[in-house]
Every structure is written in structure tokens, then in C-alpha cells.
């Protein structure tokens, strides 16, 4: 027997303006695709803000910190926004000497409510790992290894390594939805 889910937060359902802490079209499209499902009238803007972490974050903690900083800076800088979203991709050293991807989304609203969502864990091939260890950013390492350009603003490492089964936007959309949980179902969070 299924129980009814609580209704959507009226504040999120009436959301009119959101800002993404990036001008990357893939990140903006992922946020727009998710938010339009719960707030059809929302306008999503992108704003170039720093992450406060290296261009290639290492570890979940550093990657979350980058996403949080992007969201907070975007909310501070964009007065019309009711909600801000930071997305950050990173890499994580594995126990067996390999490296995997990670990606995190942080959502903050004007009341200070924050949500965090993450996933996109996929092993990276040895050639890419070697480039990362030399200090290259994942997108640039993938460009070089795959002989392409624009990995970061296109299909992403995930799109290349899954042969197109999942692209970067599709991989980011669940992260945004996960991060929205405290706003979507506030009765569970006391918000």
C-alpha cells in the first residue's frame, strides 16, 4: 500500500527566478529541465562566479565546497533570484589507485535553506588518470584523449565514456533533483 506524498512546497511551485553559478550551457540546461517540472514559469539565468576551489577539484568534500560556493555567490550577486544552484564536477582517488568521477549540486534559497545532491561516480581510464595526476582538468584531459574539443560544454566525460548512453546534462539532472529535496518536501526537513 502506497501512502500519498506531501504536496510540493508552495514557495517552490511559485518559483519565478533562479540562477546557476555558471554560464556553462550544460549546467544551465540541466537546472532548467528540472525546475520547469515543478515551476513551469521559472526563468533560469547563468552567472559566472568562482567556485573557490581548484579548476579540478579532488575529493567529494572539495567538490561539494565548490558547488556550495557557486550557489552562494550566485545568490548574492543576482538580486532577482529566489534560488541559486551550484554544480561542480570533481574526481576522487579510489582505494585501488584508480580515479572516479563525482559531481555535486548545492541549492540555496533566500531563507538560507540548503540542499545537497550528488552522484555521477564512474571510473576513469588510465590515460585520463595520468593526465589528471599531471594537473590537467578532466574536460581538457578528455578532449586530448578522445581527440575532441568542448567536452566540458558538451556531452562531458560521461557522454564520451558511455558512448552517448548518458550525456552530461542527463547526468546532472538527478543531482539537481536530489539537492531540491528539502524544498520539494519541506515537511520532512522542518523547512
* CA pair distance 184, 191, nearest whole angstrom: 10
- What confidence score (pLDDT) does residue 9 get? 58
- What confidence score (pLDDT) does residue 5 get? 53
Q: How confident is the model at residue 28 (pLDDT cuts 50, 70, 90)?
A: very high
Q: How confident is the model at residue 104 (pLDDT cuts 50, 70, 90)?
A: very high
- What confidence score (pLDDT) does residue 133 get? 96
This prediction has a pTM of 0.92
For residues 61-65, give the mean pLDDT. 98
pLDDT over 70 percentage in the chain: 94
Report whether pLDDT(2) > 70.
Answer: no
Amino acid at each position: 500500500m502506497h501512502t500519498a506524498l506531501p504536496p510540493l512546497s508552495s514557495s517552490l511551485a511559485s518559483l519565478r527566478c533562479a540562477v546557476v553559478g555558471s554560464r556553462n550551457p550544460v549546467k544551465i540546461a540541466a537546472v532548467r529541465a528540472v525546475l520547469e517540472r515543478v515551476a513551469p514559469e521559472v526563468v533560469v539565468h547563468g552567472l559566472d562566479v568562482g567556485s573557490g576551489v581548484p579548476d579540478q577539484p579532488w575529493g567529494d568534500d572539495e567538490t561539494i565546497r565548490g558547488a556550495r560556493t557557486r550557489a552562494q555567490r550566485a545568490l548574492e550577486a543576482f538580486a532577482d533570484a529566489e534560488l541559486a544552484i551550484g554544480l561542480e564536477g570533481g574526481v576522487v582517488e579510489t582505494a585501488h589507485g584508480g580515479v572516479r568521477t563525482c559531481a555535486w549540486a548545492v541549492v540555496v534559497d533566500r531563507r538560507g535553506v540548503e540542499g545537497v545532491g550528488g552522484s555521477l561516480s564512474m571510473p576513469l581510464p588510465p590515460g585520463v588518470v595520468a593526465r589528471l595526476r599531471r594537473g590537467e582538468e578532466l574536460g581538457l584531459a578528455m578532449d586530448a584523449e578522445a581527440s575532441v574539443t568542448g567536452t566540458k560544454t558538451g556531452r562531458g566525460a560521461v557522454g564520451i565514456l558511455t558512448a552517448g548512453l548518458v550525456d552530461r546534462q542527463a547526468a546532472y539532472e538527478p543531482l539537481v533533483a536530489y539537492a531540491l529535496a528539502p524544498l520539494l518536501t519541506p515537511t520532512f526537513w522542518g523547512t
